[in-house]
Amino acid sequence: TGAISSLQRQMEIQESELRRIRSEKEMLQKQLREREVQLQAVSDKFCSLTEEQKQEEMMVMMEEENRNLQQVVTEQESQLAEQNKLISELQGTISQLRAEAVTTRLHLLEQKQAQKEIQSQAEALQHKELQTRVALERISSKFERYRSKIIQATFSVEGSQEPLAELTDDEVLEAMQKIINERMEFQQMLKHKGSK
């Protein structure tokens, strides 16, 4: 947004400069027309003189006026050429600034779209995370109930002592393995005695 504002300010400055130069061009053209009117007035003035005076006076004044006019025309043509060149350059600069403004706006739109997509992905991840946490809590709860049942079954065997403190998973497994081993030994002993 700052870049677009800067470009718009530059465009306004360039357009203002372009208007000023066009105004100066119109003023120079107006001065040229005024010179032409003055020349016509001089010509009209000579009409009231005698033929000989006319010719003499006209030659002197016309030469002087022609020199003056030629100088003015040369200067004005030079100024107009410079102004036309500057106008062309300013128009090129304005076109470039407009193109940059359009490019900047497109870039901002792309960034906004990318930001929306990222936000949408983040929301989807948050939702997935919440679902995962709920599933994890459910699994943890099932695991704790299952572990509690295993401990209860393991230490409810006759001759087992209730644990005095909270057992680790390894201690629970060790207790279960001990019961299994004892049962296997008992079965082997029964087989040796021939009992079913």
pLDDT of residue 47: 66
pLDDT of residue 133: 93
pLDDT of residue 157: 65
Neighbours of 10 (CB within 10 A): 16
Neighbours of 42 (CB within 10 A): 15
pTM equals: 0.40
Across the range 163-188, mean pLDDT stands at 80
Q: Which two tokens stand for residue 72?
A: 């003015």
Q: Which two tokens stand for residue 20?
A: 């000023």
pLDDT digits (tens, 9 = 90+) for 123-165: 999 999 999 999 999 999 998 888 888 877 777 766 666 666 7
Helix (H, G, I), strand (E, B) or coil at 152: helix
Confidence of residue 178 (pLDDT cuts 50, 70, 90): confident
